[in-house]
Structure 1
């Protein structure tokens, strides 16, 4: 697909959003879209042209989170849903899993819109994944989860017979066990807990607060059952 066609996809997705998008500048090098489901609006932060390192696929990914927030559930917004009075530090263990689990669904949505481009990104990323995982020193959990997501995508979309063992296999299997074509708050929660099971004794669930659902995190012995993929 040509760059012009990719731009057409971006415009189509942008135009499909029902909530207004308020745009402002940012010092960050990447486009970021935050969503306010209570006031039904989005905030798009765009760096100056010479500083903008976002590709069209990066831009589309942010629009995907905004789309999912509007049309599926607010938990898919890039800005996470936490209790208003909570100590945010207690949620740090879930953040890497939340990010990659949400991306599992949003990236599939991108895959359906731009399959050639998305497959190209996966192919280009695999050598870096192999390099990182080949190092003797264990990388941070964020890197391991990102690598596991890419391997799961390579197996699903490229039919790559990638062999991995140990915790990495458990993570890849966790992604592949939850259908990315069925995004929901329930399936997102299930995937987060499957990923967290490889590195944490804590689990998450959604609980009501005011007129919304927010994340709650508990030790395994007190956590609610993970449930089944719907």
Structure 2
């Protein structure tokens, strides 16, 4: 398994090469590369049992930052070792697009909770710097009294605060839905990824907003997310 085109510039440093080698050594499925794409993406194929790294053409000027590369490869590793849903959220084909757009960030954050823990083990310097930066940004926003206008804002802020508490041991004062989101993350051990744990986390986060729940159901041999309205008494 050789990746010929790793992220440029800093990837030549011994420290970054060591991190990348440490991460890639954990894969059992082969990692293939494709070039001349419009965007950088990593796809994990559970049928072929292979990961495909798609690199953008140079003229697109979209080569990923080192941290983005690590993050996507973290998803791929969890997709291989735990379940394909850890690659990216997959929904039933008839899912309402508006509903999916509303909650996409919530499902993404649930996966990132596990990816972050994996990278704190493999690349603590890089992931730790990202964790600290997101906490500072969130804390500044809250100090300024900024409103949290959407599911995405609440979940992203909650994950940033929960991450700082778990990995840095510092707790921030929160209230309302933000507190509930923080607690939903903290109830979920990110260093022990399971499909059951992922589903419980997603349901816990959705429960904060009180409108919908979700479950994994089989569709054409693959488990996908189904989003249902909460039944009112």
Q: Quick one: structure 1 residues 90 and 120, their matched pair in 2 at CA, closer, same or farther if it must change by over 3 Å?
A: closer
Deviations 1:98-140 (A, max 9, x none): 1000000110000011223322222223221123333444343
1:53 to partner: Cα distance: 6.1
Which position in structure 2 is the counterpart of 1:83?
92
Q: Give the structure 2 partner of residue 192 of structure 1.
A: 202
Could you tell me whether the CA contact under 8 Å between 2:36 and 2:56 is conserved in 1? yes
> Unpaired runs of 5+ in structure 1?
223-230
**Structure 1 residue 145 and structure 2 residue 155: aligned?**
yes
- Give the match's secondary structure for 1:213: strand
Structure 1: how far apart are the matches of 2:63 and 2:162?
A: 26
Gaps of 5+ in 2: 1-10
Following superposition, the deviation at residue 63 of structure 1 comes to 0.4
1:86 shift after superposition: 4.7
The SS at the match of 2:191 is coil
1:205 corresponds to: 215
User: 1:123-162 residue pairs with structure 2 within 5 A?
Assistant: 123-133=132-142, 134-162=144-172
Q: 1:47, 1:143 → 2: CA distance? A: 29
Q: 1:35 corresponds to which residue?
A: 44
State the number of aligned residues.
Answer: 218
Q: Please, what TM-score do these two structures have when normalized by structure 1?
A: 0.83
Larger mean Cα displacement after TM superposition, 57-66 or 132-141: 132-141
- Separation of aligned partners in 2, 1:154 and 1:82: 30
CA contact (8 A) 1:93 1:200 kept: no
Alignment RMSD (CA, Å): 2.4
